[in-house]
Amino acid sequence: MQPPRRVMIIYNPAAGPREMTREIQAVARRWEGRGWSVIIRITERPGMATELAHEAALEGFDWVVAAGGDGTVNEVANGLVGLPSALGVLPVGTGNVWARQLGLPTYPLVHPLRVQVAAQLLEAARIHLIDVGRANGRYFLLWAGIGLDAQVAQQMEPRDRGTKRLGALAYLIAAALIARDFPAMRATVFIDGRRRIRGRTLVVLVANAQLYGGLVRIAPQALLDDGYLNICVFRGMGLPWALRHFINVFGGRHLQDPAVKFFTGRQVLVETRPVVPVQVDGEPIGHTPMVFEVVPRSLRILVPPTAPASLFRDST
């Protein structure tokens, strides 16, 4: 691959269980040592990473690297869709699902060396053009969630550092409490104009990638460059159904459960009664009804050599 001439690192100091400024500066020095021009920009508020990334792309930066978690990656991606700059990630967030999806090191949570290893892997990355999802004018890389999981995101975000240190555990406890009180949701799901689901539903997931929440492969056959979204509908209502799905998902058996319906498509419309929240890449973005569509091959990303080949239809 052509080495980049100009790199912008967009660092979110609010991401992750602790501040990583020094580690990010070390990455910048490392890359400058290779003769690249590197600028670090620090976000001061939600949404700013999108503006910085968009400006960087218009100014001709070759790489725009999100230093943060999935929220930061999502914001940076939103500034780059349709433009030539390539998106990279230095995983210094909490969940870091996108980084994990690409095989970058994400454990242990706060290990400084992890960032340097990720930087080294990016040096060996290739550039690949991938699909993104779009909902309510917002692009997503990983998934959109409608229903119970978005309710959890809505109640948990923004998390303070104490909650972030609890990591997945805090999410699981919150999910159980929220599932207990989650109202009976009736969902109607249209895929490419055809009605495919109607009735009691806990969660509808519209996935672009394979991983969900960092721990489970919710859509094992999802490809990042095939022009399709993967739709997973979890039927039922109430805590017993939530537990059933939870156990199956963690055991990797959810796709064999007749109460889980799986589809692929390019456009999804989800209507619900009552109205429920929607999240993309872990960030609440609004409420139903909402349309989700694929924007094929619209974002360049840096793919480290550790990324699983099973993520791509085209390996070049």
Residues that bind ligand ATP (CB under 6 A): 12-16, 43-46, 68-72, 75, 93-96, 158, 164, 282-283
Residue least distant from ligand ATP (Cβ) = 69
Residues 115, 173 contacting (CB under 8 angstroms):
no
Nearer to ligand ATP, 94 or 272 (CB): 94
Q: How far is the C-alpha of 94 from the C-alpha of 68, rounded, in Å?
A: 8
Rounded to the nearest whole angstrom, what is the least distance from the CB of residue 6 to ligand ATP in the complex? Answer: 23
Nearer to ligand ATP, 15 or 260 (CB): 15
Q: Please provide residue 236's backbone torsions phi and psi, each rounded to the nearest 5 degrees.
A: 110, 180
Rounded to the nearest whole angstrom, what is the least distance from the CB of residue 111 to ligand ATP in the complex? Answer: 15
Rounded to the nearest whole angstrom, what is the least distance from the CB of residue 313 to ligand ATP in the complex? Answer: 26
CA dihedral 86, 118, 23, 89 (to 10 degrees): 30
DSSP reduced 3-state for 33: coil
> Residue with structure tokens 């973005």?
285
Nearer to ligand ATP, 66 or 86 (CB): 66
Contacts of residue 247, Cβ cutoff 8 Å, sequence gap at least 6 = none
Rounded to the nearest whole angstrom, what is the least distance from the CB of residue 249 to ligand ATP in the complex? Answer: 18
Q: How far is the C-alpha of 8 from the C-alpha of 6, rounded, in Å?
A: 7
DSSP at 309? G
Nearer to ligand ATP, 23 or 283 (CB): 283
| Strand ranges in the chain using DSSP code E only, listed in sequence order | 6-11, 37-42, 63-68, 86-91, 126-135, 138-140, 143-147, 186-191, 194-207, 211-212, 216-217, 229-235, 260-265, 267-273, 277-280, 283-287, 290-303
Rounded to the nearest whole angstrom, what is the least distance from the CB of residue 104 to ligand ATP in the complex? Answer: 12
What is the CA 295 to chain-centroid distance, rounded?
Answer: 15
Nearer to ligand ATP, 43 or 248 (CB): 43
Nearer to ligand ATP, 149 or 283 (CB): 283
Rounded to the nearest whole angstrom, what is the least distance from the CB of residue 145 to ligand ATP in the complex? Answer: 13
